[in-house]
Amino acid sequence: MERRDLHGGEARERPDPDGVAPLARITLGTQVYDALRDLLIAGELAPGERLSLRTVAERLGTSMMPAREAVSRLVADEALEVLPNRAVRVPVITLGKFRELTRVRIAVEGFAAAEAARIVGPRDLTAIREHDEAFRHEVRAPEPDLERAMRANRDLHFAVYEAAGLPSLIAIIEGLWLRIGPVLNLDMRSSPRRLAEGGAEAHHADLVAALSVGDAEGARTALAADIAGSAAFIETTGRLAP
Amino acid sequence: MERRDLHGGEARERPDPDGVAPLARITLGTQVYDALRDLLIAGELAPGERLSLRTVAERLGTSMMPAREAVSRLVADEALEVLPNRAVRVPVITLGKFRELTRVRIAVEGFAAAEAARIVGPRDLTAIREHDEAFRHEVRAPEPDLERAMRANRDLHFAVYEAAGLPSLIAIIEGLWLRIGPVLNLDMRSSPRRLAEGGAEAHHADLVAALSVGDAEGARTALAADIAGSAAFIETTGRLAP
DNA sequence: CCAGCCTAAGTGTGATCACAGATCACGGCA
DNA sequence: TGCCGTGATCTGTGATCACACTTAGGCTGG
């Protein structure tokens, strides 16, 4: 985990002198939560890695209280776990758990894709195409930037889900990504070249094509194939706990 | 919210998916969380009702810290919300949000029912039948005990979901119930007699029948009809915010 | 009598301290 | 040499205090 300071400068003190009150409360606890959340989804925290409230607080430049709240919320999301030994760590996903999460993802995210296909408009569609294009461009590059590729992949997926117009469903999906993020990104990072071999490009193309013509079931199957493909690749790495 | 003391109550340990670790952390914060959770699902906290960390702590016989953690987790679950005014309250669900949650419920819980139908065993089936019988008995009684009926309904549903063997899916569904619990139970409470008019009995019968023969799609449609029926009833009460 | 300020109570948030339990390295005994 | 006890250290949890902010109610001045 890299060093970063949450309140660099006094920007936090007086938000928005223009008069528009911030809709969302930006407490320190929330900021720590978001920081840890990004680290988890980006795979910068490896499964099994241990955290400490005090070190987290120190590295983010706050006291222990915001770290406590953030870790509590992440534990509630099952994105972190606190062992009976009173140790906080990134959960180690077993193979069985990974397969279970994959099945749930296919069901939930597949439903989101199907709903998106039914009501997607031209605005959402162009955004989706842009993310798809960005992903394809990054993967086909001679030296793919893994981080940007993963970000494009994530943006593409969530652009589709947001097109479904079901915010509560997006929250659920974010919770799922929060849990598979560590193992998924960590393994992807280990072998960037195989990123394209999972057939992600083809699945994405099918997905965009189905969305374009409003084919709900086509979108669902394309997305399911994408998830299954990446999951199968992860399993081949054999890094998952038995 | 009624007075209850945590020290007298027993800590409920949530079932471990992997089954190996019987050690459950029973912190005060978790106990407060469970207490508030039960109150929310049971509909004893009305939408819009305001909470205070200090009053919660006092009523449950603890200090403010466990109440803080519990409320933080519930806010993260969107089961509570803290307004920019720094006021914590039970969210007021709008009609649009209620319909959205209902659609998500039909998709997610319908999937769970379908999966359950595929792999349900005789043990789960008998448990499901018992809950179904308890619900029917309670509804048909001359003076139905609403609380017991709702409990039987809840037990029936979750017995089905647990039969699907997907713990992460159950966690998702619990999150959904946590959010619709207040509005659902509150309205049911207002007119107990109409409990049966939603067709819950018939839908439950269809569900159990489909589960018995392994009819996945039948189970899905039966459960979807049950959810849609109760949702339609809620909407007729007109209590939802526009 | 009414409007407007303005104090006082109450709110969540953050910091600091206290404490029981677990971990781990070190040292002494067999 | 190998093993076990043991204390220093680190862990999360809980309690208490301080603070900025909101809100409601009483008071004053018109």
* DSSP class per residue in A28-75: HHHHHHHHHHHHHHTT-S-TT-EE-HHHHHHHTTS-HHHHHHHHHHHH
- pLDDT attached to residue A18: 35
* Interface residues on B facing A, Cβ-Cβ cutoff 8 A: 17-18, 21, 23-25, 29, 68-69, 72-73, 76-78, 82, 84, 97, 100-101, 103-104, 107-108, 111, 166-169, 171-172, 175-176, 179
Report how many domains make up chain A.
2
Please report which confidence band the pLDDT of residue A198 belongs to, taking 50, 70 and 90 as the band edges: low
Distance from CA of A142 to the nearest CA of B (A): 39
Q: How far apart are CA B111 and CA B114, in angstroms?
A: 5
What integer pLDDT is reported at residue B236 of this predicted model?
A: 84
Residue A242 inside a domain? The answer is: no
Residue type, A81: E
pLDDT of residue A9: 35
The tens digit of pLDDT for each residue in A128-178 reads 999 999 999 988 888 878 888 888 999 999 999 999 999 999 999 999 999
Looking at the fold, whether B82 and B26 belong to one and the same domain comes out as: yes
pLDDT band per the 50, 70, 90 thresholds, residue A21: very low
Residues of chain B with pLDDT under 50: 1-23
Per the prediction, chain A carries an average pLDDT of: 85
pLDDT at A49 over 50: yes
Q: What is the CATH number of the domain that holds B5?
A: 1.10.10.10
Q: Which of residues 174-233 of B touch strand D (CB under 7 A)?
A: none
Same domain, B73 and B184: no
- Does any domain span residue B112? yes
For B215, the domain range is 95-237
- B106, B108, B162: which to substitute to probe chain A, counting the most A Cβ within 10 Å? B108
Contact predicate A171/B78, CB 8 Å: yes
Neighbours of B64 (CB within 10 A): 13
What's the pLDDT band for A192 if we cut at 50, 70, 90? low
Claim to verify: residue B22 and residue B88 sit in the same structural domain: yes
A64 in the same domain as A40: yes
B138–chain A nearest CA distance, Å: 33
| Residue B195 buriedness (CB in 10 A; 0-12 / 13-18 / 19+) | buried
In this structure, what CATH number is given to the domain that contains residue A159?
1.20.120.530
User: In this structure, which amino acid lies at residue B86?
Assistant: R
Helix H or strand E segment including A81: strand A81-82
User: What is the three-state SS of B153-166?
Assistant: HHHHHHHHHHHCCC
User: By CA distance, what is A114's nearest residue in B?
Assistant: B107
A156 located within any domain: yes
- B242 within some domain: no
Which pLDDT value is given to residue B191?
64
Of the candidates B71, B59, B60, B85, which has an alpha carbon nearest to the alpha carbon of residue B7?
Answer: B60
Select from A72, A74, A109 the residue whose CB has the most chain B CBs within 10 Å, as the one to mutate to test that interface: A72
Helix-, strand-, coil-residue percentages of chain A, each rounded to 5 = 65, 5, 30
